[in-house]
Amino acid sequence: MDAYLISVMTFIGIWIIMAMSLNLLVGYAGQVSIGHAAFFGIGGYTVAVATVKMGLPFPIDLVLAAVVSGILGGFLGLPALRVRHDFLVLATIGINFIVVAVFQYTPALGGAYGIVGIPPIAIAGVELLGLGMLLLVAAIAVALFVLKALLLKTWFGVRLIAIREDEDAAAAIGINVASTKIWAFVLACGGAGIAGALYARQLGSVFPENFGFVESVTVLTMVVLGGAGTLIGPVIGAIILGGLPEYLRFLHEWRYVIYGLLLTVLVIFERDGLMGPESRLRALLTRLLRRAAAEP
């Protein structure tokens, strides 16, 4: 299979994991964050340090990345208890900048030099490159998708949605808003950490500039465009926006003009996202699936 296609799809798989994790926070818990790339970065740097400086093998580095990002994400949840809505949005952006500054100014993390020489994942001595890495990323993405779907069916999922709809009402009926919020941050940031871990392995290096405001905006865009608060929304958003720069290469230097226009138009047309509850795409796919199921 075409190595370029595999590379593109591997990155899309990583964005899917990122978007799904952010969706937990934005779409289900209702906490808008434009700083998610910070945890993407924390996951990536954890893997970088674990592999390059400590020589740890897969999957220990991946687990570490998820745990470290998750715990630090929990700490981000603390200001979220105090600060809401657009104030929180800015706080999340601030956390992103501060985390990147820490990456950039901490010599132990490579400072401005980043960390290079991250080896590809090796399972039982076999290096995962190209197709192998793509399959691993896809497997993890599917597993996380299923886990998320199951999680949302639990009482935790119900609590999340209650908080999203009306935080004060949720508290009034006895939901522990603080604990639920913090857990939402832990899980979402842990998910971003997993995406970051895979990203670091795929690129072989991490630099502070990989994890900034622009990346956070991009992943939020994927979630909202796809349909925040739906299971399949972030997946669609990641496939479209993650792949669009590559699909549009034939437009050469007009790529991003069209990208911007397309984004604007798509989101005006489908205000709840492309896979939002009332969207045309969802209706179309449902019809097609029903017809396929109805055929004997």
Partner 1 sequence: MAETITNIVVTGCLYTLIAMGLTMVYGMLRVLHIVHAGVFAVGAAVGLVVFQTLPVGFWPALFAAMLASGALGVAIYHIGYRWVLDAPRGTPLLVSIGLFITLQSLLEKPFLLGAYASAFDAPVGLPRVQLGALAFTPAQIAIVLSTVAASGVVWLVLNRTRLGLSWRALSEDMNMARSLGVATQRAVALNMFLGSAMAGMAGVLVAVYENAVSAHMGEVVAYKAFVVVVLGGLGSVLGAAIAAFVLAAFEIGISTYLGGLFPRDAIGFAVLIVILLFMPTGLLGRRFD
Partner 2 sequence: MSITIERRTLLRGLGVAALCAVTFASPARADDTIKIGFFSPQTGFAASDGIAALHGATLAVQFANEDGGVMGKKLELVSYDDASAPDQAANVAQKLTQSDLVVAAVSGSYSFLTRPAAAIFQRAKVPMVAAYAVHPQITATGNYIFRTGVPSAVEGAAAAWTAGKLMKAKNVALVTMDNDAGAALADGFKKVAKDFGVNVVTEEKYSLKDKDLRPILTRIKGMNVDAIYANGFYAQAALLVNQLQELGIKTPVIGMEGFDSPKFFELSKPGAAEGVRITTALDRGSSNPLVQKFLAEYKSQFGQPADMVGASSFDAVAVLAEAIKRAGSTDADAIVKALHGIKDMSNVTTGPFVGFTEGGDVIKPVVVQEVKNGAWVSYAVIDDPAVMNLH
Contact residues for partner 2 (CB under 8 A)? 2-8, 11, 104-105, 111-114, 116-117, 129, 202-205, 207, 209-210, 245-247, 249-250, 252-253, 255-256, 284, 287-288
CB-wise, 271 or 287, nearer to partner 2? 287
Q: Does 151 bind partner 1 (CB under 8 A)?
A: no
Given a contact cutoff of 8 angstroms between Cβ atoms, the answer to whether 32 and 228 are in contact is: no
Please state the φ and ψ torsions of residue 122, each to the nearest 5 degrees.
-125, 125
Query: Contacts with partner 1: how many residues (CB under 8 A)?
Result: 45
Integer Cα distance of 134 and 140 in angstroms = 10
- Using CB under 8 A, which of 6, 213, 243, 248 touches partner 1? 213
- Using CB under 8 A, which of 26, 170, 175, 274 touches partner 1? 26
State the DSSP string of 17-78.
HHHHHHHIIIIIS----S-THHHHHHHHHHHHIIIIIT-PPTTHHHHHHHHHHHHHHHHHHH
Q: Does 87 bind partner 1 (CB under 8 A)?
A: yes
Q: Does 247 bind partner 1 (CB under 8 A)?
A: no
CB-wise, 252 or 291, nearer to partner 1? 252
Integer Cα distance of 61 and 49 in angstroms = 9
Nearest-5° Cα angle at 114, 113 to 116: 105
* Residues near partner 1, by CB under 8 A: 26, 32, 79, 82-87, 89-91, 93-95, 97-98, 100-101, 104-105, 213, 217, 220-221, 223-225, 228, 253-257, 259-265, 267-268, 271-272
